[in-house]
Amino acid sequence: MTSASFFAIFALIGIINGAPSSSGSGNVLYEVPIPRGQTKQDYFKSVADYWTPERMASAVPMHPILTTKEVTPFVNVDENRGVERILTEGVEAPNARAENDPSAAGRIFFSMNKLNYVCSGSCTTANNRASIITAGHCVFNNTGKIWAENLVYVPNYHQTAAPHGKFVARKMATKQLWKDKGDYNHDVAVVTVNANDEGTLLQDKAGSFGIVLDAAKAGATNCYGFPMNIGSGEYMSNCIGNTRAASILFLSSFKGIQIQCGMGGGASGGPWLRNYNSATKIGHQCSLTSFGHSFAPGYVNGPAFTHDNIGSLHAETQNA
C-alpha cells in the first residue's frame, strides 16, 4: 500500500436528507424514503437496475485525510472489557464449500452528490435474514449530515458480476456518536436490505458471519474487503494475521484494534473475523475496516465490537 493510502480514512457516503429517529440506546435509525409515484418494489428495482456493470466498475472510494492538525472528537470509552461472548453464530451458505471466498462478504455501492462510491461489508446473522454490517462512514457523512443514496449490497462480488444478486437497502442505522461526533470507536452501521430479484433473502443466499463482543484485542484474524489498490477492487482481497490494541500517536482516545494489512480505500466496512473456518467460510466478526493513519503506516484500524457499538445496533435492527 502506498503511504498516501494510509493518510486516508477509508471513506464516505450518501445524500438523502431523511428524518432519522434516535433511540435511548444511542442508535440512529433511518428508513430509506420511497420517491413519490413509485411503489416499494418499483423503487428497489430501479436502484438494482441503476448499478450496471459499468457503474459498479467506475465507482470510487473517497479519502478524507486524518492529520494531527485536525481535532478528532473521540469520546472516552471504558477500557474495562466485558467478558468475551458470542452474540450470534454464522450460517453456512448453500454452496460455501465449493467457493474460494466467503460469500457473506461483499461490496457496497452508493451515491453522493450524483457521484458513485464503494465500500465493503458483510452479511450478519439476524432474525430478519437481511442485515449487513459496514462502517458508519459508508452510510452517513457526518460532515455534510447526509445519508447514503442508491445503496446496494453485492455479496461475493467478482469483476462486476453479482453471483448472488443485488440487495437494495431499505433501512440504515448507525451510532449517535458517529453521526454527531465522528467518533471512530463507533464507526459502525447496520443496513437492512430487500430480497434480491428472485425474492430470496440475503442470508439464505450468501450465508452470514456471527458476531463476537468484547473479544481479546490480540488474536488471529482474517480480514476481507475490496480495496481499490489491489485489482481495482474487482475481486475480494484478504489480510491474515494477528490484531493488537491500536496504538496511534495523538489518538489515545481510540480504543479499537489494528492489523498489519495492505488493503486501501474501498476496503472500508469489510469484516474482521475470529475463528474463521476455511471450509464453511464462516467466523465470528470482531471488527471492521475503519481507517488508516500516517502515524501507523502499514496498519488498518477498526472499532472493537462491544455491546455499546455493534451489539446494541444489532439488537435494535435484527427484526426490522
Dump pLDDT digits (tens) for 128-167.
999 999 999 999 998 888 999 999 999 999 998 999 999 9
Confidence band for 253, pLDDT divided at 50, 70 and 90: confident
State mean pLDDT over 256-283: 96
Contact (CB, 8 A) for 106 and 153: yes
What is the H or E stretch that residue 49 is in? helix 40-50
CATH number at residue 96: 2.40.10.120
Q: Which range marks the domain in which residue 39 is found?
A: 3-317
Dump pLDDT digits (tens) for 6-61.
333 333 323 233 556 666 579 999 999 999 999 999 999 999 999 999 999 999 89
Number of domains in the chain: 1
Write down the pLDDT at residue 219: 97
Measured from the Cβ of residue 301, the count of other Cβ atoms closer than 10 Å reads 26
Burial of 80 (0-12, 13-18, 19+ CB in 10 A): exposed
Residue partners of 202: CB distance under 8 A and separation at least 6: 123, 129, 130, 131, 132, 153, 155, 167, 193, 195, 196, 208
State the cell numbers at 25.
440506546
